[in-house]
């Protein structure tokens, strides 16, 4: 699943330009869009209600009563094992178990309905699931609203991932670390081995959901461009979610994120952008040419031929990379502001796609 950057070749074999979109640039775009607080009105009201709710307080979601304790949530009446969180609320692995009987695409579609209309009826475990992902996590990290919507997109779009591009996401993979799997992740502080005989427990890494692991909120607070302050209203709180990551400017220099949160967010954003541009392909205008076109006659008049100017475009092919290393002959999209250049075109196109994603809950894939 891990993606760290994307190469874009404009024209056949990059004849018209070669551009590198690094994960740091993509995350800066994500933070900039997230900080603009574009959340559906009814869900913004629900977020403000969640923030204002005292410990032990209750609110309604999906025709269920949700009890909030700190950032933990549980629907009234559900029974769960009191493990990591005590009686505050179920752990993600248990939420995963209790929604696993619902088809992933069905659960994603139902989640969208509740986000658009919070009074939409759902079961207690589904209400707990939605409250955890789109209230608890979004208040802990406002970027989560868009990132978690992207995860719904990838699930509903049945987007493939993995080295062989043969895997599909489901909510179990999102919410808990795959048992028995041994993996080594590299961050600024060094390698971290998770799973296996000598690795850290799965809860340290969590699932593919960025906020599913231990200390995720602490990691978020260290990434904000401005000082983190808890707010009682959603708007000013979300404005703190901007990022100002500095990737190396030299080609060939490896870049590693400082923690798991940024690593996961990067992968999801890049995976989503690739899926988005596969469905809505990028085209780059290189100039104009004159072409003869047939204009249909109106009111019984005969068709006519006219010579008109037509844009000349070249295709853009995207290649996902598992490393954040810019090839020497590729221009960094984060360093180019001119939209007429391939680099600026790619960066601006990505920002527009992210802005479109943030504006609503409708599936874009």
pLDDT tens, position by position, 100-144: 999 999 999 999 999 999 999 999 999 999 999 999 999 999 999
Angle subtended by helix axes 260-279 and 144-156, to nearest 10: 50
Domain presence at residue 348 = no
How many domains in the chain? Answer: 1
Domain presence at residue 124 = yes
Domain presence at residue 324 = no
Domain presence at residue 147 = yes
Residue 202 has pLDDT above 90, yes or no: no
Residue 38 has pLDDT above 90, yes or no: no
Residue 250 has pLDDT above 70, yes or no: yes
Domain presence at residue 209 = yes
Tell me the residue range of the domain where 40 lies: 34-241
Alpha-carbon span 93 to 83, nearest angstrom: 10
Query: What pTM value is reported for the model?
Result: 0.91
């Amino acid at each position: 699943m891990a993606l760290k950057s994307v190469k874009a070749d404009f024209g056949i074999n990059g004849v018209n330009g070669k551009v590198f979109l690094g994960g740091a640039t993509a995350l800066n775009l994500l933070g900039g869009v997230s900080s603009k607080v574009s959340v559906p009105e009814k869900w913004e009201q629900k977020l403000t209600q969640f923030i204002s709710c005292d410990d032990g307080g209750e609110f309604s979601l999906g025709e269920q009563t949700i009890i909030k304790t700190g950032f933990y949530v549980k629907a009234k009446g559900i029974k769960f094992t009191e493990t990591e969180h005590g009686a505050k609320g179920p752990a993600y692995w248990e939420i995963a178990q209790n929604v696993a009987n619902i088809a992933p695409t069905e659960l994603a579609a139902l989640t969208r309905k509740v986000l658009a209309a919070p009074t939409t009826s759902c079961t207690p475990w589904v209400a707990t699931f939605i409250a955890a992902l789109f209230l608890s996590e979004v208040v802990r990290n406002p970027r989560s609203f868009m990132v978690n919507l992207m995860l719904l997109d990838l699930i509903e779009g049945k987007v493939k991932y993995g080295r062989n591009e043969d895997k599909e996401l489901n909510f179990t993979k999102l919410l808990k670390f795959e048992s028995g799997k041994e993996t080594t992740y590299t961050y600024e502080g060094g390698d971290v081995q998770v799973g296996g005989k000598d690795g850290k427990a799965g809860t340290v890494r969590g699932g593919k959901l960025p906020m599913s692991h231990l200390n995720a909120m602490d990691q978020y607070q260290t990434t904000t461009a401005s000082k983190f302050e808890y707010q009682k209203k959603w708007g000013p709180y979300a404005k703190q979610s901007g990022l100002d990551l500095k990737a190396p400017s030299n080609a060939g220099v490896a870049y590693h994120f400082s923690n798991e949160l940024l690593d996961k967010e990067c992968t999801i954003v890049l995976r989503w952008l690739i899926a988005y541009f596969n469905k809505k392909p990028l085209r780059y205008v290189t100039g104009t040419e004159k072409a003869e076109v047939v204009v249909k006659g109106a009111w019984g008049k005969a068709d006519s031929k006219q010579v008109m100017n037509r844009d000349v475009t070249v295709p853009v092919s995207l290649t996902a990379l598992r490393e954040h290393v810019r090839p020497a002959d590729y221009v960094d999209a984060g360093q180019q502001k001119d939209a007429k250049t391939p680099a600026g075109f790619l960066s601006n196109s990505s920002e527009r796609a992210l802005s479109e994603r943030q504006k609503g809950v409708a599936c874009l894939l």
